């Protein structure tokens, strides 16, 4: 029985929705299904404006345009993240300033942010790793004190909360991903959440190739024209129809994902107590994660690699990431560092993600847990 690392979420009603979109005869963006997705996001997340994009990368690009950066402006972000967090700002001529992460959440260490601020700093781009919230109160306070914007890379964080507020709705702008590796998907897909009215009108324009076409479609102007920077960030109705089906089952998908996460945590707790490996924290008083990533931390890079090989021989796939951006060729060329990266470097060597997806059975999770336990049992025996 092969256990893949990920299987794209499927809820069963996607194809009927796509057939309906075809029947409606409008397949480019911003039709019936796009509007339904916008409404769902705005109502469920509690944000004034949501706009679907073709990816979270596209939403981050839009956020970077909306931040109105000048060449040489700086954006503070964690080094331990996906490349799109940084690339969006580099494309505007800005400089990503990398800082280290916290060892408990693997999110940006808020205690290191102020030391990274210079007169050129314009924004902080936070990443809610694994759908676990950053220390948002502290981060928003720093941002207000220094008049910085906060962009949330909430790619992994849909329906995870911080003090009962949805991630992606706390900063001025939030970016969500519906890539097939995320909890809720449309193959490729994303959304920009606009939480500050100042950005609402311009966001629409940036998304529609720099034109005021959205106002034209609402009958607010009698022709549309090029008014600002922009590109084509909207998805087709086919993608929105697929996503709409998934959003209708969001609670079921997230609940199942959280249950799978907790099953791993409980199943490996004894092994962790023995000191063989480390597990992420399983609960917080002030935030509720969404079960996006389940990871373990091995003691060394060598152990991590041996564990991944062991799982592979038993047809179970595990995955490690990220190459820290501060040590990547792109990060060295376009970014700069602030402080040391002890936690980032250490975590990126030792972290291993175990299979988690909607549809993985409890029996499959137990098989993976047994395989991990088996690895450490044989290792203990050979060392002895
Ligand atoms: C997945 C991911 C992205 C990119 O999302 P796409 O929708 O694939 O563009 C950006 N940032 C983080 C932290 C991610 O996990």
Q: What is the pLDDT of residues 285-325, one digit of tens each?
A: 999 999 999 999 999 999 999 999 999 999 999 999 999 99
Burial of 243: CB neighbours in 10 Å, binned 0-12, 13-18, 19+: buried
Query: Is there an atom of ligand 1 within 6 Å of 17 CB?
Result: no
> How far is the centre of ligand 1, averaged over its atoms, from the C-alpha of 30 (Å)?
22
Q: Is 82 in the pocket of ligand 1 (CB under 6 A)?
A: yes
User: Which of 122-136, 148-162, 209-223, 265-279 has the lowest average pLDDT?
Assistant: 209-223
- Predicted local confidence at residue 384, as pLDDT: 56
Mean pLDDT computed over 63-89: 98
Residue 379 — pLDDT band, cuts 50, 70, 90? confident
Q: Which atom of ligand 1 is nearest to the CA of 84?
A: 10
* Residue 248 structure tokens: 């209708």
Confidence band for 383, pLDDT divided at 50, 70 and 90? low
Atom of ligand 1 nearest to the CA of 190: 7
Residue 53 Cβ inside 6 Å of ligand 1? The answer reads no
- Checking if the pLDDT of 110 tops 70, the result is yes
Ligand 1 centroid–CA 221 distance in Å is 35
Cα of 260 to ligand 1 centre, how many Å? 22
Strands 74-78 and 121-127: parallel
For residue 58, the CA-to-ligand 1 centroid distance in Å is 10
Q: Which two tokens stand for residue 205?
A: 């324009």
Which one of 8, 56, 187 would you pick to mutate in the ligand 1 pocket, going by the greatest count of ligand atoms within 8 A of its CB?
A: 56
Measured distance CA(345)–CA(384) in Å, rounded: 30
The structure tokens listed for 1 are 């029985």
In this prediction, residue 341 has a pLDDT band, given cuts at 50, 70 and 90, of very high
Question: Does residue 172 have its Cβ closer than 6 Å to ligand 1?
Answer: no
Residue 59, CA atoms < 13 Å, CB-side half-sphere: 29
- CA 160 to CA 381: how far, in whole Å? 41
| Best of 53, 63, 177, 292 for a ligand 1 pocket test (most atoms within 8 Å of beta carbon) | 177
Residue 45 CA, ligand 1 centroid: distance in Å: 19
Please report the pLDDT score of residue 141 as a whole number.
Answer: 98
Instruction: Answer yes or no: is the C-beta of 364 below 6 A from any ligand 1 atom.
Output: no
Domains of the chain: 14-248 (3.40.640.10), 250-383 (3.90.1150.10)
* Ligand 1 lined by 85 (C-beta under 6 Å): yes
Task: State the pTM of this model.
Answer: 0.97
User: Cis omega before residue 90 (within 30°)?
Assistant: no
- Using CA atoms, how far apart are residues 49 and 202, in angstroms rounded to an integer? 12
Predicted local confidence at residue 203, as pLDDT: 98
Q: What does each C-alpha distance from 156 to 140, 254, 257 come to in angstroms?
A: 20, 12, 13
Q: What is the pLDDT of residues 15-51, one digit of tens each?
A: 999 999 999 999 999 999 999 999 999 999 999 999 9
Residues 6+ apart with CB under 8 A from 382: none
Check if 186 has its Cβ closer than 6 Å to any atom of ligand 1.
no
Taking the C-alpha atoms of 60, 64, 65 and 71 in order, what is their torsion angle to the nearest 10 degrees? -150
The mean predicted confidence, pLDDT, of the chain is 97
What is the 61 CA–ligand 1 centroid distance (Å)? 12
64 contacts: CB under 8 Å, gap ≥ 6: 75, 88, 89, 91, 92, 94, 151
Q: Does 129 sit in the ligand 1 pocket, CB within 6 Å?
A: no
Query: Ligand 1 centre and the CA of 219: distance in Å?
Result: 35
Cα-flanking dihedrals φ and ψ of residue 351, to 5°? -85, 135
Is 281 a residue whose pLDDT tops 70? yes
CA 90 to chain centre: 19
Cβ of 155 closer than 6 Å to ligand 1, yes or no, is yes
What average pLDDT score do residues 352-357 get? 98
Q: Is the CB of 357 under 6 A from ligand 1?
A: no
Which sign does the torsion angle of CA 303, 105, 99, 85 carry?
positive
Q: What pLDDT sits at residue 276?
A: 96
Q: Is 281 exposed, middle or buried (0-12, 13-18, 19+ CB in 10 A)?
A: exposed
**Confidence at residue 130, expressed as pLDDT on a 0 to 100 scale:** 98
Question: In the chain, what is the straight-line distance between the N-terminal and C-terminal CA atoms, in Å?
Answer: 32
CA–centroid distance, 201 to ligand 1, in Å, is: 25
CA 51 centroid distance within chain = 16
> pLDDT band at residue 73, thresholds of 50, 70 and 90?
very high
């Amino acid at each position: 029985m092969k256990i893949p690392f990920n299987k794209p979420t499927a809820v069963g009603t996607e194809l009927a929705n796509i057939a309906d979109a075809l029947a409606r005869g409008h397949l480019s963006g911003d039709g019936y299904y796009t509007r339904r997705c916008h409404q769902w996001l705005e109502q469920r997340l509690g944000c004034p404006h949501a706009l679907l994009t073709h990816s979270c990368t596209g939403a981050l690009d839009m956020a970077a345009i909306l931040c109105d950066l000048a060449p040489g402006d700086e954006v503070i972000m964690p080094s331990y993240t996906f490349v799109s967090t940084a690339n969006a700002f580099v494309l505007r001529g800005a400089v990503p300033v990398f800082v280290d992460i916290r060892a408990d959440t693997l999110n940006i260490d808020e205690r290191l942010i102020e030391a990274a601020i210079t007169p050129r700093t314009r924004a902080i781009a936070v990443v809610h790793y694994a759908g676990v919230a950053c220390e948002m109160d502290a981060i928003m306070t720093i941002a207000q004190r220094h008049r910085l914007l906060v962009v949330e890379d909430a790619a992994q964080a849909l329906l995870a909360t911080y003090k009962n507020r949805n991630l992606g709705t706390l900063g001025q702008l939030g970016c969500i991903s519906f890539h097939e590796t995320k909890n809720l998907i449309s193959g490729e897909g994303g959304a920009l959440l606009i939480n500050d009215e100042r950005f609402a009108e311009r966001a629409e324009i940036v998304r529609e190739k720099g034109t005021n076409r959205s106002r034209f479609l609402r009958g607010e102007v009698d022709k549309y024209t090029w008014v600002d920077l922009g590109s084509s960030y909207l998805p087709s109705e086919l993608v929105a129809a697929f996503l709409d089906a998934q959003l209708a089952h969001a609670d079921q998908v997230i609940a199942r994902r959280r249950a799978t996460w907790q099953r791993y945590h409980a199943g490996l707790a004894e092994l962790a107590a023995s000191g063989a490996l480390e597990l992420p924290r399983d609960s917080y008083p002030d935030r509720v994660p969404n079960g996006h990533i389940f990871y373990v931390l091995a003691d060394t890079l060598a152990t991590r690699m041996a564990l991944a090989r062991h799982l592979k021989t038993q047809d179970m796939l595990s995955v490690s990431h990220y190459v820290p951006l501060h040590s990547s060729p792109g990060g060295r060329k376009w970014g700069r560092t602030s402080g040391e990266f002890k936690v980032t470097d250490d975590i990126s060597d030792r972290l291993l993600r175990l299979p988690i997806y909607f549809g993985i059975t409890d029996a499959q999770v137990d098989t993976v847990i047994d395989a991990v336990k088996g690895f450490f049992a044989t290792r203990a025996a050979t060392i002895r």
